[in-house]
Chains A and B, each alone.
Chain A
Amino acid sequence: MTPSRLAILACLSIAFLVALPIGLVWFGHSLDPLTPQPESALEAPGAGQWVGRDELGRSLSARLLLAGGLSLGAASLALVLALALALIMGGLAGWYHGQWPDRVISWFIALLHTVPFFLLVVVAAAVWRPGFFGAFVIVGLCAWAAPARLARAEFIRLRSARHVLAARAFGFPATTIMLRQTLPVAFLPAFTAVLLLMPELIGLDVGLGFFGLGAQPPTPTLGRLLYAGLSRLNAAPWLGFAPCIMVILLSLAAFGLAALWSRSIPTSSRA
Chain B
Amino acid sequence: MELTTERNSMLRALLRHGGYAASLFLGALLLAQILFEAVPGDAARRALGPYASQESVGRLREKMGLDRPLLERIGGNTLSALRLDFGKSLLDGRSVGPEVREKFRLTFSLGFQAVVIAVCFSLLLLAVVHFFPAASPLLLVSRAPSALPSFLSAVLLALAAALWFPGLIFSGSGMLAAPLLPSLVAAIYPASVLTTTLGSRFSAMRSGPHYRSARAYGHGRWKLFFDALMAPSLSAVIAVVVAQLSLVLFASLVIEIVFSLPGLGTLLLAAIQGNDYPMLQGILIVNSIVFITLHFVSETVNPLLDPRISA
Contacts and interface: CB of A to CB of B under 8 A. Distances in A.
Interface of A: 107, 110-111, 113-120, 122-124, 126-128, 199-200, 202-204, 206-207, 210-213, 226, 230, 233-234, 237, 240-241, 244, 247-248, 251-252, 255
A127 B149 contact: no
B67 to A, nearest CB: 20
Question: Per DSSP, are chain A's interface residues mostly helix, strand or loop, or mixed?
Answer: helix
A233 B246 CA distance: 29
Contact of B268 (A115, A200, A211): A211
Contact of A230 (B151, B247, B258): B258
B231 interface: no
A26 to B, nearest CB: 25
A263 B156 CA distance: 31
A127 B280 contact: yes
Contacts of A206: 149, 151-152, 155
Nearest to A201: B149
Contact of A114 (B250, B253, B291): B291
Given A119-B253, A203-B152, A107 B23 contact: yes
Contacts of A116: 245-246, 249-250, 287-288, 291
Nearest to B264: A119
Contacts of B77: none
Interface of B: 20, 23-24, 27-28, 31, 35-36, 38-40, 147-152, 155-156, 158-159, 162-163, 166, 245-247, 249-250, 253-254, 257-258, 268-269, 271-273, 277, 280-281, 283-284, 287-288, 291-292, 295
A230 B27 CA distance: 38
Contacts of B27: 107, 111
Contacts of A124: 35
Contacts of B246: 116-119
Given A116-B250, A212-B269, A230-B258, A207 B151 contact: yes
Nearest to A226: B155
Contacts of B288: 114-116
Q: Which of A122, A206, A251 has the most CB of B within 10 A?
A: A122
